[in-house]
Amino acid sequence: QITPLKLRSEDETNRRINEVLHRRFLRQVRLKERRRRSDESAKRRYVLDLNVDYEIEQLSTSADFLVELCKIPDPVENHSSFANMSHQAVDFVLVSLKKFAKENKSRCVEGIVISLITRLVGRMCTSTTRDESPSSDTDAQFCVQHLLRKLGAEPYIGHRTMLAVSQRILALADSLLFMDPFDNVFPNAHSCMFLLIQLVEFLISDYIQFWTSDREIDM
């Protein structure tokens, strides 16, 4: 015979079971929701990483293209095509670096920037071929100097160009001390020193106020 006490006991048991099942159900729902959000977050991070990798690859390709372009034997003779393509490459590099700086990801491309500066400075101080006339080679060197000057508009490049050029000047000054003035290499070294010092003067006169007002000089 079922007594009221027994009924109350069964009702209480059923109520507790229902509460346990309800809590378990809510826990499962929360876990699934957490996993779903985690998966979506991971997918978003994956897509963002892919975008960053693609942008870095584009920047690297543009830097390589600019360096190869500067190896054209006579840029003055090919002035129209050289000017258009080189300025487009420079503009793309500047826009890309501004974007990376805005997203605090400049460190991701520091190697590309330093490599670009090193190669352009090296090209500015080096003759391309032995067959070139001195005047055409000087024109090519001044063209590269102009591109470095234009790239300096972005502080991230400008600061590092100043540092790289200063180091090059110090190394060249040391070598000039022990160089024979009548050696065939001496005029080239002297010309290189002139271009380097002139580039420093251009960068300072063009951008020093902008660099110091925009942000601290980053060396």
Q: Using 50, 70 and 90 to split pLDDT, how confident is the model at 167? A: very high
**How confident is the model over 23-49, as pLDDT tens digits?**
666 776 677 777 666 665 555 554 455
Return the number of other C-beta atoms located less than 10 Å from residue 25's C-beta: 10
In a domain? residue 83? yes
Q: Is the per-residue pLDDT at 12 higher than 80?
A: no
Q: Which two tokens stand for residue 55?
A: 């942008």
How many domains, the chain? 1
Contact 59, 109 (CB under 8 A): yes
Answer yes or no: is 179 within a domain. Answer: yes
Q: Considering the domain boundaries, does residue 74 fall inside one?
A: yes
Whole-angstrom Cα distance, residue 42 to residue 35?
Answer: 10
pLDDT at 219: 45
In a domain, 219, yes or no: no
Helix/strand/coil (H/E/C) assignment for every residue in the chain: CCCHHHHHHHHHHHHHHHHHHHHHHHHHHHHHHHHHHHHHHHHHHHHHHHHHHHHHHHHHHHHHHHHHHCCCCCCCCCHHHHHHHHHHHHHHHHHHHHHHHHCCCHHHHHHHHHHHHHHHHHHHCCCCCCCCCHHHHHHHHHHHHHHHHHHCCCHHHHHHHHHHHHHHHHHHHHHHHCCCCCCCHHHHHHHHHHHHHHHHHHHHHHHHHHHHHHCCCCC
Higher local confidence (pLDDT), 84 or 76? 84
Q: Is the pLDDT of residue 51 over 80?
A: no
pLDDT (mean) for 143-171: 93
53 within a domain of the structure (yes/no): yes
Indicate whether 165 belongs to any domain. yes
Residues of the domain holding 178:
4-214
